[in-house]
Amino acid sequence: MFTDLEFDKVCRELEHPYLPESEGWEFFVESHDVTIYRQYNKVSGLYQYKIFGELKDVNPDVCAQVYMDTEYRKIWDTYVNDLREIEEGINKGIYWQINFPFMMSNRDYVYMRELREVDMDSKHIYCVLAKSANFNCCPEIPGVIRVDDYFQSSALTSNGAGGTKAFMHYYDNPKGMIPTWLINWGAKTGVPQFLTQMQSACRGYPDYLRTKQQS
């Protein structure tokens, strides 16, 4: 699905960020233990982002489990309208629909996703790669805009103090006429808010698993 080289590159960026100004990377915002950089895409007129942050009281193995658990995310992520694993032949993927603000069409994504555990420079890293893919079992839905230009890579490792050091590289083209204020909110506020939500979800994960086993 993804190559060893792709995983290796993401893991190295966690420890050694590659953000050359000559390629257009610029500091964007810092908030709540999260620092975000961005790079302008001349073709789409949008930005891609690299995010560095910490989840101070959650172990990386729990973060990785929560990140991959689609059923649990439907509980803690209020923007999820629909989220499920899909399968077509030997190919496995994810269908994900996001609630957009009133008077705007929801967006949905169909993508491949893979988690690998990598040992590098005395670090144990959980690395997740995702990118848009075509699955005939998930045709477009009337009234929902399909995002077909999307990729995301994430890497998680111990921060050495009982928490998690995190890296994310993210880009998508949501199409349509989306107000600038919403795009700015998503990058400046939405990402740190998501990490805060995820940290809370990680704390509650053991209780969720116990409840699930008992039901």
C-alpha 145/C-alpha 137 separation (Å) is 17
Secondary structure of 128-139 in HEC code, one letter for each residue:
EEEEECCCCCCC
C-alpha 93/C-alpha 197 separation (Å) is 24
Paired with 48 in beta bridges are: 39
What is the pLDDT of the chain when averaged over all its residues? 92
**Picking from 7-11, 106-110, 149-153, 196-200, which range would have the lowest pLDDT averaged per residue?**
196-200
Q: What is the mean pLDDT of residues 31-36?
A: 85
- Show the CA angle centred on residue 76, arms to residues 151 and 92, nearest 5°: 40
Q: What is the DSSP letter of 45?
A: T
CB 29 within 8 A of CB 36: yes
The model's confidence at residue 196, banded by pLDDT at 50, 70 and 90, is: confident
CATH class of 4-214: alpha beta
Phi, psi for residue 5 in degrees, rounded to 5: -65, -40
CA of residue 139 relative to chain centroid, distance: 23
Q: What is the mean pLDDT of residues 47-57?
A: 92
pLDDT tens-place string over residues 118-169: 999 999 999 999 999 999 999 999 999 999 999 999 999 999 999 999 999 9
Q: According to the model, what pLDDT value does residue 141 have?
A: 96
Q: Taking the CB of residue 4, how many other CB atoms lie within 10 A of it?
A: 9
Q: According to the model, what pLDDT value does residue 49 have?
A: 93
Q: What is the mean pLDDT of residues 54-65?
A: 94
